[in-house]
Chains A and B, each alone.
Chain A
Amino acid sequence: MKKFRILGFLFAVILVMVVAGATRWKAVTTLNIDYDEDDYLRAAQQYTAIIRSGELSGFLETNYRPEHPPFAKIILGLSLLSDPEKPLTPDHPTSAEPNQYLARDLLRTDRVTNAIFGIITAGLLALVNPLAGLLLAVHAWTIKYVSQIMLEAVPAFASLLCVFSYVLWKKKEQNRVNGWLVMSAIFLGITAASKYLYGVVGIAILIDWWIDAAKAGEWKKALRNILIWGLLGVVIFFLLNPYLWPDPIGRLKESILYHSAYAQGASEVENAQFPVWQQFIWLSTSPRMWQADAFYFSVDPIIAILAAMGLVTTWQKHRVYALWLIIALFFLLIWPTKWPQYLVTLSVPLCLSASEGLNTILIAPIRAWILQLMGRKNTIIVRQKSEFRKALPWLIPGFISFAVFTLVPLFYQLGVSMTDFNSVSIKDGLNGGIWREVWGGITGQIEVALQNFPYRSKEVHYLGLSNFKPVFDYLSQQQVLFNNILWTVVSVALQTLLGLATALVLWQRGVKLKRAWQSLFILPWAIPEMIGALMWVNVFAPEIGWLSLAAQKYGPAMPFSFLLGWENSPSMWLVILLISGVWYGFPFMMLSASAGLKMMPKESFDAAQIDGANALQTFRYITWPLLYPLLIPAIIIRGIFAFNQFYLFQAFRIGTGTLATLSYNFFNPSGFFINGQFAVSAVINIITVVILIGFVILFNRWSKADQGVTYA
């Protein structure tokens, strides 16, 4: 049995490497030449020349693009040795357009070298978790940047190996220095000597170490090991970085200063004008938008969503990887330049977390279901059969009405989503055109038509699943999906904080006017959302709103005047919407928290008071642990509401605010948008439903709502 498992495991690893090989080979052979590829090819050629001439002292003075350490470039140089010599690639500034006249054979060799590192990385990750390896094998951003002449592939590989060996060391002999620890240190050095940013794994390992030491209380031994590991890492870094040898401090300083100057001054950084959270936007898109033919398919946004769902499990199972992901994300947030290749620093833990997420929401439930099916006892089946017969008279009429009024519209929608049905072709569609095309398309009698978005044809055509592509393109161009998720997270977080704070203050003993305050605070919840939204429009509307009128009367020095002119700045839009959205949503969280607080046993608080706990400790150790299982279902429900938020955006006339708003405005034949796109709206609704499935799974896990508490 054990042998079987090992064989299966090996097979999975090989499969992952084959998939990784296929995806990367396609990328190597088809990707257009990108920025920086000429620079690193030039750097590699310089090293090749040094090795060929035999004057190894050249290493001391050579490091083209000195902002990055030389090791990855040396590797690229080594791999060029077997190729014929070509004239040195000319020196261009970093802002120049990609150089299209690179020597093709050299380009191929170096790309392949990088891709091999990428394939091994995926295989190595498959050793940790085969599913994670598979996800890394198909992660399009990673594919792109490890298949070009970039400096990502080598440090990505080394950083994984560094963590990998560290984990093995931790499993085996916590307290001794052994081969694995040495290996971890060596690869830490290699990582740093290839690209500095990848050094975040070192920080993740340190924190992991610290947590373990704090738990075990063995500081001394831990400290000794850390010192050995760290020093060895630094030594290796120095050894692999010959450029530093003549003037270590000066040249290190030079490269670091370059980064800060680059971030502030370089024209390409300024022109890009990326917001702070740009890396999250990259995560929610994929490089297919630039060159679709270089990737078989792209599931990057799904991987990102799954990773968010799996983070908690990853923390429990592979803490150091979770730390890696969190710290790398944090670094990318504060790192002033926002190039998408930096995503490769975290794509390994991202895919691991995504595999855990996939496991939680899909694989584990299915497995449990199958086990349940296999292990079901006969007696239960008998009992169920008898109840089934009893239930039948209720089920049949109930199911029919539910199907007719709820399921049929949804299935009809699925059909519409596979066509180009729009307000111009409404006559054909209503006369059976939708049915004709969908049936014909599914049975293969009608070929997939090519229609340009927005659809304006007079007859309905079958588009099949190809309809999803223009919609996804539109969604990522307008960043609708990203904005929708940003809105959900930020607004629900604020609502929860405010609701919880209010509930806690009202819950204190002896607060005056408790009931009056509470009745006042539930007003926003009681007011219909559309009315509440109109009220805020009445406050904020430019020129005619209360705020603008006040500014006309009292001049610009009055309080809140910084909110004026919000209509000209995207981030102020967000602030205004958040003010309104939080106003509408926080009472629900307050009521939920109050309901939870009421259910708490008084005794624990008395005991805590007797033991001399202060307010903060009481909250941290008693209130919060008791409260959060009750609060989380409320947060998820609020999350669903916020995700579907419609009237607020409609009142402020933001057509692309959420998927629901977008769907409405695409649909509405007399709307203020690209209107009457019935099929597109159907596609968006289907995407919404798919995302909501994730929400409902989460909700079920936390509330057990589907178990039916009292039915037996």
Chain B
Amino acid sequence: MRKYLWVRQILGQIFLIIIGLYVIVPIWGMLRLAFDGSLLSRPTEFRFFPKVFSLEPLFSVLDRPYQSVHFTTLLKNSLVVSLGAALLALVLGASLAYAFARFRFPGRKPGLFILLLTAVIPPIAFATPLYIVLSILQIRTSLLGLTIVYAVFAIPFCIWNMRAAFQSVPRELEEAAFLDGAGYLSTFRYVTLPLALPSIAIAALISFLMAYSEFAIGWLFVDKAQTVTLSMAIYAMVQSGNAQPWSILGSLVVIMSIPVILVFVIFQRTLLERMLFGALDS
């Protein structure tokens, strides 16, 4: 029996090692580029490890401009757009989320259906009409326009998540506050909102990440280098091919991804639940 267990352990570990290699290969391929100080353009020979290990590309990203735009500007644009989108989605979605979480009203079920549907529609299906509408409003190529676009992508999903957040606040607490003479708005402000805040923060986080890592659709809403975000700069670098060392590209990828990866690793269980639209609740 003991021997049998050992066999199982070894077989299991072999399986895990194979999967682990599968997971790690492409990541390693990118890391190798990021830390190779010898690259002048695209890589020309196969290596497992960087030829010259160096942190220089990582730092050079920080002061090397992309089309005369500095890293700080790129980061600033990314943050402005993503934070703006997340905040906008929260503010615009909160009241509908609360209504869906707390009240029974005619049309509630079809409403939830539409909400769920809009949450899974691919961003491009929103981007095309927004392109036209924002062009008419003449804010298509401003940071504000981009913020609105990303907010629209996030709103349905955000409403769905905040609804879950409000639902998790016990109704009795609200009723108690109500009996003590608090109005609707103050009950919401002082009882429900603080209790739901951690979950709402997750909703905001997801909206933020969506905007932070988006590049292709945002590309339609940019016409000058000044409003380019970090992830767009990466894509542009890929498009431009061999003009600069690929180590720069690798470094930019690393810098951009690390915060996202950290967030996912820390909040994995919660994020998973949110992405399943509450299917694990029951």
Contacts and interface: CB of A to CB of B under 8 A. Distances in A.
A703 B109 CA distance: 14
Interface residues of A, number: 111
B217 interface: yes
6 contacts: A384-B105, A387-B104, A398-B98, A405-B152, A663-B124, A667-B128
Contacts of B159: 398, 402
Nearest to A414: B129
A546 B96 contact: no
User: At the interface, is chain B mostly helix, strand, loop or mixed?
Assistant: helix
Contact of B257 (A405, A531, A592): A531
Given A394-B96, A546-B29, A688-B125, A696 B120 contact: yes
B106 interface: yes
B117 A397 contact: no
In this complex, which of A412, A534, A667, A699 has the most chain B Cβ atoms within 10 angstroms of its Cβ? Answer: A534
Given A393-B184, A696-B113, A402 B155 contact: yes
Interface stretch (B49-57, B58-66, B265-273): B265-273
A583 B96 contact: no
Interface string B245-282: 00000000100110011011100110011011111111
B46 A644 contact: no
A562 interface: no
Nearest to A596: B280
A246 interface: no
In this complex, which of A407, A525, A592, A711 has the most chain B Cβ atoms within 10 angstroms of its Cβ? Answer: A711
B27 A535 contact: yes
Given A552-B46, A644-B120, A681-B124, 13 more contacts: A384-B105, A394-B102, A405-B151, A405-B155, A410-B118, A510-B5, A511-B9, A520-B20, A531-B256, A539-B25, A647-B216, A705-B277, A708-B163
Contacts of A511: 9, 12-13, 16
Contact of A650 (B12, B33, B123, B216): B216
Given A522-B268, A526-B260, A596-B280, A512 B216 contact: no
B93 A398 contact: yes
Interface string B92-122: 1111111111111110010011001110111
Nearest to B126: A409
A553 interface: yes
A584 to B, nearest CB: 10
A434 B24 CA distance: 50
A513 B127 CA distance: 44
A216 B237 CA distance: 68
> 6 tightest A-B contacts by CB?
A398-B96, A526-B264, A633-B279, A528-B213, A391-B103, A535-B26
Interface in B1-51: 5, 8-9, 12-13, 15-16, 19-20, 22-27, 29-30, 33, 42-46
Contact of B22 (A501, A535, A583, A693): A583
A592 B94 CA distance: 28
User: At the interface, is chain A mostly helix, strand, loop or mixed?
Assistant: helix
B58 to A, nearest CB: 16
A685 B264 contact: no
A257 interface: no
B208 interface: no
A405 B129 contact: no
A674 B23 CA distance: 36
Nearest to B135: A430
Given A637-B276, A664-B217, A398 B95 contact: yes
Nearest to A650: B216
Nearest to B115: A402
Interface string B119-147: 01111111111111101100000000000
B234 interface: yes
Contact of B235 (A506, A519, A530, A708): A530
B186 interface: no
Interface string A617-655: 000000000000010011001001000101100110000
Contacts of B261: 523, 526-527
B168 interface: yes
Given A522-B268, A524-B23, A505 B16 contact: yes
A700 B109 CA distance: 11
B253 A534 contact: yes
Contact of A412 (B16, B133, B216): B133
A549 B32 CA distance: 14
Nearest to A695: B120
B26 A711 contact: no
A249 interface: no
Nearest to B112: A706
A624 B92 CA distance: 42
Contact of A667 (B131, B136, B256): B131
A517 B132 contact: no
